[in-house]
Structure 1
Amino acid sequence: MADVEHTIGLLLGTEDDWPRAYEALLRRIGTITGPDGKTHRVNTERVTIEPFNLRDQPRHELVIDRLAYWYYHPREWLKKIALMDDVYLLNSPFTFQSMEKHAAYCAMMRLGLKVPETVLVPYKNPLDNSRYAYTAARYNQPFDLDRTAEQVGYPLYMKPYDGGAWVGVSKIRNPDELHAAYDASGERLMHLQASVEGYDVFARSLSIGPETMVMKFRPDQPMHSRYEVDHSFLSAEVGDEVVTISRLVNAFFRWEFNSCESLVRGTDVHPIDYANACPDVAITSLHYYFPWAMAALARWTIYCVVTGRRPRLDTDTSAYFEISDDSSLSYAEKLGEYRRLADAHFEVDRYRDFCASYLGHVDEIVHDWVTSEEFRSLLRETVRATYPVHEHERFLAHFGGLIDAWQRDHVVPPA
């Protein structure tokens, strides 16, 4: 028996592949001896939705949230356990508030990042609110949508200010497409954002705590082919900037399980989307990178509960703004200072020391797990649940081959 038992809650929607993988890894890791000299075991529990008394004591020390960005009842439960019980959350429900990307754009513009020109336009259709007609008649300024779009510049994108999964995103090349997309937006609040034309590569970085994987992303491909396995598609300097931006965003907003999309043109990194409350970690899309994601999630969550890492609900924006407002600093120097603050927030050095001292065996465990029948069974069941019968054989071979490639690239040397 472990000296200390920790319970991590999984607040889930429709996904089942990565939760099963995460649960399997924690079982295989078993107990570890922590820096306090005690043995620790981390267990999981899938959280159910039910009435809760605001004075109830939660069973969980940490909750991985994949649901509350659209389901408000569990979101309010997360707020309660964070405010009243100091439960550690991946991610903060206070700053996400249903994947609200608008504030993220504003904050990163203030910090000087190369966010494309962006304009928020009013609703196309009236809101379902009895006071709207009076307020709109008295205060809504008539505006010229065509002129607004011309000021942003064609081509541009129309995208929901709070959206996710590319829902409602349209590339606009001319006034006809502009009006068609705006008419279709209805009661959704939309941004117009300049397109970064002629970019060299689309980088998508998945961050889990202080770990980040930057992947080459091909948005025009079907989901199973969007992440291309390429280990040298960015220069070292540009890759480091993408990691810095990803970590900066997360530290700034207290997010710990998030993805960031950036367009790289030459040596310029243009972040275009970096507020994803439920980042894609499906085995059928991450494939080659899936074992890394599960290992990183296990390492970070174990670190948090074993070391008693305390949640930070407040956002120390002034420390970041002092850097952004310092006109004596170059862009590169500001990025370096942001990285210093972000690394301090995520306790990067302490985390690395912890992993080296107490979780050094995790890579071997992950490799053994990926080669096991348990993992192959998970892959088969996921493919069968995702694709029609006539495509099962094709996709089992496709994902199996990518996982085999990861195994070859990550052979753990014998102790």
Structure 2
Amino acid sequence: MTLKVGLIVGREWSFPPAFIEEVNGRDQGVTAEFVTLGAPRMDEPCDYAVIIDRISHEVPFYRTYLKQAVLQGATVVNNPFMWTADDKFFGAALATNLGIAHPKTVVLPNKEYIPGIVHDESLRNLKYPLDWEAIVEHVGLPCILKDAHGGGWKDVYVCRTLEELIHHYDTSGLLTMIVQEFIHWDHFIRCICLGQEEILPIKYDPRERKYHVEHDHMSDALGRRVVDDSRKLVQALGYDMNSMEWAVKDGVPYAIDFMNPAPDMDVYSLTPHYFEWVVKHMADMAINLAKNPRRQDRALSWDGLFTGRRVAAEVGGAAILGTGTAPETIRGAADPGDAPDAVVDAEVEQGHS
């Protein structure tokens, strides 16, 4: 029986047809096509062994359906339960618990609330006013203010003074914002992470918003650390399709943005060189998942949010991740996102997300 891979996309034009053609051209008993949905019933079987989700963060109906598809036995990339639960503050805490360098991060109460919230009754658990001086002392200046659930360069501000920080917070409305340490980087890397194993680190300039085809941009030690830390994070999150950004300062890679479960895969963004790698490895992953489905009880449980791997605390308090066997060489590092949360401020000479 032929297994089917379904693709849910938005306005993308280059990746979808290339991916479908690649899967269908393999002649491995797996075909790919666009998913077509009407009004699914709660017990309706899913026709697909695998569904690749590229747009449910913008179309809530898709996310609602994809959770039902998991229940019906489909493997969804990415896990819609984890994607629903994820946010940048959780990511900061997770990276820190895994021993990965991350900018200091503070989450702020919302500035505004939906109708029906009575401030002196509904918000009795909140301190007021906020200790802005302590926040700035902790993260330093300049700092980054951004939406904890956002992406695509939206609602990201570089704040050079306390007054700027408070001003932008006061305009944040219903968003939950985080304040983050600004990393003055001297090297910037974006990794494309596929199948929780394949990691392709690419030189990236957020000031130009451009990938550079330059294979020797990292030392062996830096490359190994970036790839190992990327794999550790993506396996903890359980994402099969993600991009991660690393700001390197004094030889230390800081994970500054890794909540990109629908990474940019456009041929003009990636360059034809890296686009070919992405299409090939996405097809490899989709075919493998179609033929070797994961246990659905894992996907439907909290443990499944971490792909069945355990994050265990050592006596000293550091968290470790059981990741299985790591390759001796850096996959993709020397081989021939997504819309990042890079700073839009034109005055910023150093990118940060």
Superposition TM-score tier, normalisation by shorter sequence: 0.7 to 0.9
CA distance in 2, matches of 1:319, 1:297: 22
Equivalent in the alignment of 1:21: 18
Residues 305 and 159 of structure 1, relative CA distance in 2, 3 Å threshold: same
Equivalent in the alignment of 2:282: 297
Q: Is the 8 A contact 1:62 1:88 kept in 2?
A: yes
Q: Which of 213, 216, 224 is the equivalent residue of 1:232?
A: 216
Q: Which of 41, 44, 47 is the equivalent residue of 1:53?
A: 41
Q: Which of 135, 147, 153 is the equivalent residue of 1:148?
A: 135
What TM-score do you get using the length of structure 2 for normalisation? 0.84
Q: Which of 95, 117, 131 is the equivalent residue of 2:117?
A: 131
User: Residue deviations 1:63-120, cap 9 Å, x none?
Assistant: 00012123222111111111x2221111111111175222222222222211111000
What is the 5 A alignment of 1:15-414? 15-29=12-26, 31-32=27-28, 40=29, 42-82=30-70, 84-97=71-84, 100-124=87-111, 126-136=112-122, 138-142=124-128, 143-197=130-184, 199-209=185-195, 210-221=197-208, 223=209, 226-287=210-271, 288-311=273-296, 312-313=298-299, 314=301, 315=303, 320-322=310-312, 324-327=313-316, 338=321, 341-343=322-324
CA distance in 1, matches of 2:123, 2:52: 44
CA shift, 1:136, in A, is: 4.9
Higher relative contact order (CA 8 A, sep 6+): 2
CA distance in 2, matches of 1:135, 1:14: 44
Q: Is the 8 A contact 1:263 1:271 kept in 2?
A: yes
CA shift, 1:180, in A, is: 2.5
Equivalent in the alignment of 1:357: none
CA distance in 2, matches of 1:328, 1:99: 23
Q: Is the 8 A contact 1:204 1:260 kept in 2?
A: yes
User: Residue deviations 1:388-412, cap 9 Å, x none?
Assistant: xxxxxxxxxxxxxxxxxxxxxxxxx
Residues 9 and 237 of structure 1, relative CA distance in 2, 3 Å threshold: same
Equivalent in the alignment of 1:6: 3
Unaligned runs of 5+ in 1: 33-39, 353-362, 368-415
SS in 2 for 1:26: helix
CA distance in 1, matches of 2:323, 2:119: 45
CA shift, 1:137, in A, is: 5.6
Query: Higher helix proportion, which one?
Result: 1
Structure 1 counterpart of 2:203, one-letter code: K
CA distance in 2, matches of 1:208, 1:155: 33
Q: Is the 8 A contact 1:99 1:163 kept in 2?
A: no
User: Residue deviations 1:292-321, cap 9 Å, x none?
Assistant: 000010111111212344454143769653
CA distance in 2, matches of 1:343, 1:295: 24
CA distance in 2, matches of 1:301, 1:132: 49
Structure 2 counterpart of 1:59, one-letter code: D
CA distance in 2, matches of 1:9, 1:130: 41
SS in 1 for 2:21: helix
Unaligned runs of 5+ in 2: 337-353
User: Residue deviations 1:19-78, cap 9 Å, x none?
Assistant: 01111212322x23xxxxxxx2x2122123421111111100000001212322211111
Residues 52 and 251 of structure 1, relative CA distance in 2, 3 Å threshold: same
User: Residue deviations 1:155-187, cap 9 Å, x none?
Assistant: 111111111112111111112321232122121
Residues 326 and 294 of structure 1, relative CA distance in 2, 3 Å threshold: farther
CA distance in 1, matches of 2:22, 2:327: 23
CA distance in 1, matches of 2:31, 2:93: 39
Q: Percent identity?
A: 26
What TM-score do you get using the length of structure 1 for normalisation? 0.72
CA distance in 1, matches of 2:52, 2:309: 28
Q: Is the 8 A contact 1:69 1:99 kept in 2?
A: no
CA distance in 1, matches of 2:37, 2:314: 45
User: Residue deviations 1:171-204, cap 9 Å, x none?
Assistant: 111123212321221211111000112x221111
SS in 1 for 2:153: coil
Structure with greater Cα Rg: 1
CA distance in 1, matches of 2:94, 2:228: 15
Q: Between Structure 1 and Structure 2, how many residues are aligned?
A: 323
CA distance in 2, matches of 1:57, 1:49: 12
CA distance in 2, matches of 1:298, 1:321: 29
